[in-house]
Structure 1
């Protein structure tokens, strides 16, 4: 645990996990330095639209499923992030209309990407450098120093599959992943190990699979297969903690296509044996194993000194 409160940056690649390839060197470099694992989601409701999926899965990341249901039922009883997490100031940067609306209802300050640079950003190096500078500035990091106060304690950057617009006005998923790769590179260059920023910035990279079916998860299941299990121990295999909520089993855990997550903060987060940002490497070598997506924000808030000890 750090001797001062951290400030959090969450980069969320919504529906982009399938498009990561070996050329995304900065994502893999982060995974090799970070603590890696999975966030589980429940099965999607029948006939859910893509817009509904985007908001619902983000709601799970914020442990705000009840708020999502209240929004759907037009209820006005919604607790904000600040009310739930000791006055935490949080923002989201997104171009998705549904997330803009839902984030606002949760008390998040909402910025479209064009608010960072007057017009839709391109994928040029200067663009990612500018956005990196603005993100760190929001968190009180400037010129290699940590300011005593910051505009926000936590900033989410949501990049959805094909929602951004590139320099030619086209919406392409491949360019979204390239952009996240460049953004991670820019942040890691500034938050060098041993630097003042590196010791105070808690970085989470979350990549999801988006809309999936049972058939999509044939090779992307977090369950231990019979081939992987030691026959001598098969009858002793216990219930995993991610399948429980308090003393009750979670009855709707989706065991395939979880969110992939790497978390890094110099001298604070642990390092595991994962070398690449991939499902296979995380399953075989990740140290963070599997946690429910609705526990994610509680863990991050603890690092920001905005929640009691995670898991206590």
Structure 2
């Protein structure tokens, strides 16, 4: 871990994973230096609208799904030992991210307003029409962030950066090409009884009964001098499945991992 509390930024490309191209150099550059993996999601309810899916998957990502079900509302403020977070659904200026995180002109201010900022990009009824521009924006934004967090700056050592890309609405047609099941299991399903339940299918000692085994979120996480790089070289489903270091964790556990690295929660998992 870092020698001082970090600040975290999550860039969330909702429904944009299908539209990543080799030309998106900054996305692939991050993946090549980061620790990567899948975030598993629960099965979607039948006849779910795109807007409902957007809210539900985001609620899962920030571990607020139960709150959403209880009162139909999602609170943008959630706390781990006082962790303060901001959620932005649309923002075109890089400077605002720095201000939210307490970063200012290459320095880190201790009186920061937020420990964690999440930027949500994409989704909506016009996803296919806007997806190209959204991915281009996300790629350019990521490049600008990495440019500011240059070697030798305090920002570089204290910024915990996560990139999350989802597939949006999925169908049974995606099951074969986007399966997160072990390659050994896929080649010989008869051996499934010999494989223990994977950790992403468990909640404590109880098994999760609603895990969708395909169409996960893809995530890459990086912090200078903290991240243990894996073997991934490009931001792609195939590369993550074969070479990622994190393999698969439930999407609702990501925030717990980040809170731990911000000194706001005990370690989740091994």
TM class, shorter-chain normalised?
over 0.9
CA shift digits 1:3-41 (9 cap, x unpaired)? 111100000000000000101000000000100000000
Measure, in 2, the Cα distance between the counterparts of 1:210 and 1:133.
28
Q: What is the aligned partner in structure 1 of residue 78 from structure 2?
A: 81
> Which residues of structure 2 form unaligned runs of 5+?
none
The answer on 1:158 being equivalent to 2:116 is no
Matched-pair contact (CA < 8 Å) for 1:32–1:276 = yes
Q: Which moved more, 1:281-290 or 1:216-225?
A: 216-225
Go from structure 1 to structure 2 and tell me whether the alpha carbon gap of 1:139 and 1:46 turns closer, same or farther (over 3 Å shift).
same
- Which structure has the greater CA radius of gyration? 1
Unaligned runs of 5+ in 1: 96-112, 114-120, 122-130
1:9 matches 2:4: no
Match of 1:299 among 249, 257, 261: 257
State which of 142, 150, 174 in structure 2 corresponds to 1:216: 174
After superposition, residues 45-194 of structure 1 pair within 5 angstroms as 45-72=45-72, 80-82=77-79, 85-95=80-90, 113=91, 121=92, 131-161=93-123, 172-194=130-152
Residues 136-158 of structure 1 show CA distances to partners (whole Å, capped at 9, x for unaligned) of: 12111112111122111100000
TM-superposed deviation, 1:216: 1.6
Judged with a 3 Å threshold, the aligned counterparts in structure 2 of structure 1 residues 79 and 156 are, in CA distance, closer, same or farther, namely closer
| Cα shift at 1:235 | 6.1
Task: Normalising by structure 2, report the TM-score.
Answer: 0.92
User: Cα deviations across residues 95-132 of structure 1 (Å, max 9, x unaligned)?
Assistant: 5xxxxxxxxxxxxxxxxx3xxxxxxx5xxxxxxxxx22
Give the SS at the match of 2:110. coil
- 2:163 matches 1:205: yes
Distance in 1 of aligned mates of 2:239 and 2:169: 22
Q: Indicate yes or no: 2:246 matched with 1:311.
A: no
The equivalent of 1:269 in structure 2 is: 227
State the 1:161 CA deviation. 3.0
Q: Is the 8 A contact 2:77 2:84 kept in 1?
A: no
Q: Residue 211 of structure 1: SS of its match in structure 2? A: coil
1: CA distance, partners of 2:208 / 2:94: 38
Check whether the contact 1:86–1:306 (CA below 8 A) recurs between aligned residues: yes
Q: Give me the whole-angstrom Cα distance separating, in 2, the residues matched to 1:234 and 1:306.
A: 38
Residue among 255, 264, 269 paired with 2:213: 255
Contact residue 244 and residue 250 of structure 1 kept, 8 A: yes
Q: How does 1:223-238 map to 2 (within 5 A)?
A: 223-226=181-184, 236-238=194-196
Quote the offset at 1:237 in angstroms.
Answer: 2.4
Partner-residue secondary structure (3-state), 2:156:
coil
Question: Retained in 2: the 8 A contact 1:15–1:209?
Answer: yes
Q: CA RMSD of the aligned region, Å? A: 2.5
Q: 2: distance between equivalents of 1:213 and 1:220? A: 10
Bigger shift: residues 253-262 or 236-245? 236-245
1:151 & 1:224 partners in 2: Cα distance?
42
